[in-house]
Structure 1
Amino acid sequence: MAGYDLSNRLVIGIASSALFNLDESGRVFNEQGPAAYLAYQREHLDDTLRPGVAYPFVRRLLSLNDLSADPDDPLVEVIVLSRNSPETGLRVMRSIAAHELPITRAIFTEGRAPFPYMEPLNMALFLSADAADVRQAVENGLPAGHVQESPGLDDDPLDRGLRVAFDFDSVLADDASEQVYASGGLHRFQEHELANQNLAHEPGPLRELLRRLNQIQAEEERRREDLPGYRMRLRVSVVTARSAPAHERALWSLREWGLRVNDAFFLGGIAKGPILETLRPHIFFDDQQLHLTSESVPSVHIPFGVRNAEPRPGRGGPPTSRTPPPSDTTMQHTWLP
């Protein structure tokens, strides 16, 4: 019997810290340790966890599986990747069931980073609130994002749409042009992009995610052909600090990749926050923390490229401030769900 094939699906990995609000249980872990945390999760096993930052995105993404003619052959697969132990992960799985999310697959690694399982599971994205896990995944060439704290979540049950927004450089594309900007400034960057406007960028960490989203949009277009009244639900945007003439290379790259977006915002230094608050994406990916300050937009930091380079000890810069990923022996000191 053949196994369940993930190769033709959009597969997302989600940490429990991204899917649910774990503030309360996290405090127990940090203040009282793993034994108290285990006891707390046992006591609250049937207390459903509240939605977290990535919940609206995940719920809407999974709803697009109704485009598949066969319920056993979904377009989207979401798999839990969690540092919880199998037993403490029980509450996560019961909360998933209580929220009626069609997520049935999970990996619990009890204190160890779960991202090494992304590649065998064909994941186009891993979302986590654990910054160290995400950075290590990206350093290993994997598409991961660190969800940012967001007090306001737009999850109107009457709104069936899914709006996804990407920055361009160091997110969809590589960071080669940002390296030019970092070393030569805006004028040199604009010259470089104009001279290379017909040369597609190398892919960035989330280009494959966009490709998979475009495949779902193609399914929506086929549905609209069969049902003229069907309203497209998935909408994809690029929100970038690029402006003319550098916009042409971004559009040329999308064309050469065989990909597309519905909206493009070439802001040329205008603050992204007000634009995003009007666009109201259910998730926004950017490589720079300064663009992820909106309290009403679920945001994800992609720690890739020159903007996120960290000095290494002994190489002429200050020691890195990042705490190394905890091992089994250090997990009692850090909440890493």
Structure 2
Amino acid sequence: MAEYDLSNRLVVGIAPSALFDVSDSHEAFTRGLDEYRRYQDEHIDDPLPRGVAYPFIQRLLGLNDLRPGDPLIEVIVLAKDDATTGLRIMNSIAHYGLDITRAVFTGGKAPFAYIDALNVCLFLSGSAADAAAASAAGYPAGQVLGRTALETDADDPHGLLVALDFDQVLADDEAETVYRSSTFPEYLAYERSNANTPLGEGPMKRFLVALGRIQEAERQHSKDFTAYKPRVRLAMVTARQAPAHERAVRTLRSWDVEVNDAFFLGGVRKAHILAVLRPHIFFDDQINHLEHAQATVASVLVPFAARGSAEQLDAPPTLDSAGAATDAAARTAKRG
């Protein structure tokens, strides 16, 4: 078999707890590993219900028709299951017709250790502990929350709208650190004086840049097929306001990325905007923003505070497909 190169693709690593609703198997897991294995074996042909990230993944994979035979997007299952309990997961993927053919089953160990080897730019899990541990190890991880996005879209049934916060999601925590240690006027003055200095990259920067490359592929495709309507839209939804907005825009430009929509809300509740925008997925580092948004939008908590925090790696082991528990530390409210 010829080597399959992942270097020129957008690669997402996904835990079963993000792709599917695993509440049934989670209940079995609480009764012990043997009971979990028996339950999964008995239900091996019963498809798992769709989970929070399912519509996002389905639409993302749909973009592979832009480059038939040489996919732009690769989604790889990263799970703590073993190969046997993983059979139900792979059977569920086949049932829904998702083009996911690669998987890593680690038999109880942390699967995110393989993120770099697989060129993964986004790892999604339903487990707060696993997302925090991956983030602590420096990986681009997030915990899915809330409900799935609406799967029907009268305007564009194949479109994909991704919305992201800026500070501590796309960019690093430099501005956040200044904000916390200064008065608000001092923070605005700092951002104004540094407007031409791009911020460092945050955990989701590579993911955004990869989406930007797909948008460029769409633009090239539309030159050959004039009837083609681009499907990917990117939105930035941030608590920044003028004059701090300029540094965010210039930072994106330094990465050669442009967003279609930008919302500089200056304290306005993000959920109000998201209810109208209706992204298929929204990334933020603050649980207080997501607590309001997750009722209507598939949401991802980016545990930036866990980055570089070694103690997060000592979180108790859970099985990915049973790990939808909430981590209290990941629910600490922050500004962002």
- Aligned residue for 2:116? 119
**Conserved? CA contact 2:138–2:307, under 8 Å:** no
**Conserved? CA contact 2:165–2:284, under 8 Å:** yes
Q: Distance in 1 between matches of 2:167 and 2:17?
A: 27
- Aligned residue for 1:201? 199
Give the C-alpha shift of residue 33 in structure 1: 1.1
Give the C-alpha shift of residue 138 in structure 1: 1.3
Q: Distance in 2 between matches of 1:205 and 1:76?
A: 19
Q: Paired residue for 1:325, among 312, 315, 324?
A: 315
Question: Do residues 143 (structure 1) and 140 (structure 2) align?
Answer: yes
Q: Paired residue for 2:93, among 72, 91, 96?
A: 96
Give the C-alpha shift of residue 257 in structure 1: 1.4
- Aligned residue for 1:304? 304
- Secondary structure in 2 aligned to 1:106? strand
Give the C-alpha shift of residue 53 in structure 1: 0.6
Q: Distance in 1 between matches of 2:85 and 2:128?
A: 21
Q: Post-superposition, which runs of at least 4 consecutive aligned residues in structure 1 deviate over 3 A?
A: 308-312, 334-337
The amino acid of 1:304's aligned partner reads F
- Aligned residue for 1:271? 269
TM-score normalised by the chain length of structure 1: 0.90
Q: Distance in 2 between matches of 1:27 and 1:213?
A: 36
Structure 1 range deviating more: 220-229 or 282-291: 220-229
Structure of higher RCO (CA pairs closer than 8 Å, 6+ residues apart): 2
Structure 1 unaligned blocks of 5 or more: 313-319
- Secondary structure in 2 aligned to 1:36? helix
Question: Do residues 105 (structure 1) and 102 (structure 2) align?
Answer: yes
**Conserved? CA contact 1:167–1:240, under 8 Å:** yes
The 5 A counterparts of 1:1-337 are: 2-30=2-30, 32-68=31-67, 70-71=68-69, 73-150=70-147, 152-156=148-152, 159-293=157-291, 294=293, 295-305=295-305, 324-327=314-317, 335-336=322-323
Q: Distance in 2 between matches of 1:309 and 1:209?
A: 17
- Secondary structure in 2 aligned to 1:125? strand
- Secondary structure in 2 aligned to 1:292? helix
- Aligned residue for 1:317? none
**Conserved? CA contact 1:247–1:266, under 8 Å:** yes
Q: Distance in 1 between matches of 2:149 and 2:71?
A: 26
- Secondary structure in 1 aligned to 2:123? strand
Q: Distance in 1 between matches of 2:95 and 2:66?
A: 24
**Conserved? CA contact 1:132–1:324, under 8 Å:** no
Q: Distance in 2 between matches of 1:186 and 1:297?
A: 30
Q: Distance in 2 between matches of 1:250 and 1:153?
A: 27
The amino acid of 2:64's aligned partner reads N
Give the C-alpha shift of residue 310 in structure 1: 10
Q: Distance in 2 between matches of 1:35 and 1:153?
A: 35
Give the C-alpha shift of residue 311 in structure 1: 9.2
The amino acid of 2:296's aligned partner reads S
Q: Distance in 2 between matches of 1:10 and 1:323?
A: 26
- Aligned residue for 2:333? none
Structure 2 unaligned blocks of 5 or more: 325-336
Distance 1:77 1:299, change over 3 A: same
Distance 1:47 1:104, change over 3 A: same
- Secondary structure in 2 aligned to 1:230? coil
Q: Distance in 2 between matches of 1:245 and 1:256?
A: 18
- Secondary structure in 1 aligned to 2:150? coil
Give the C-alpha shift of residue 288 in structure 1: 0.5
The amino acid of 2:10's aligned partner reads L
The amino acid of 2:125's aligned partner reads S
**Conserved? CA contact 1:111–1:336, under 8 Å:** no
**Conserved? CA contact 2:137–2:313, under 8 Å:** no
Distance 1:103 1:311, change over 3 A: closer
Give the C-alpha shift of residue 336 in structure 1: 3.4
**Conserved? CA contact 1:281–1:297, under 8 Å:** yes
**What is the Cα-based RMSD across aligned positions, in Å?**
2.0
Q: Distance in 2 between matches of 1:29 and 1:255?
A: 47
Give the C-alpha shift of residue 94 in structure 1: 0.2
Q: Distance in 2 between matches of 1:229 and 1:95?
A: 35
Give the C-alpha shift of residue 185 in structure 1: 3.3
Deviations 1:6-45 (A, max 9, x none): 0000000000000000011101111x11111111111111
- Secondary structure in 1 aligned to 2:83? coil
Distance 1:111 1:311, change over 3 A: closer
Q: How many residues align?
A: 319
Q: Distance in 1 between matches of 2:19 and 2:301?
A: 16
Give the C-alpha shift of residue 153 in structure 1: 3.4
- Secondary structure in 2 aligned to 1:250? helix
**Conserved? CA contact 1:111–1:326, under 8 Å:** no
Deviations 1:46-86 (A, max 9, x none): 11111101101100000000000x32x10000000001111
- Secondary structure in 2 aligned to 1:47? coil
TM-score normalised by the chain length of structure 2: 0.90
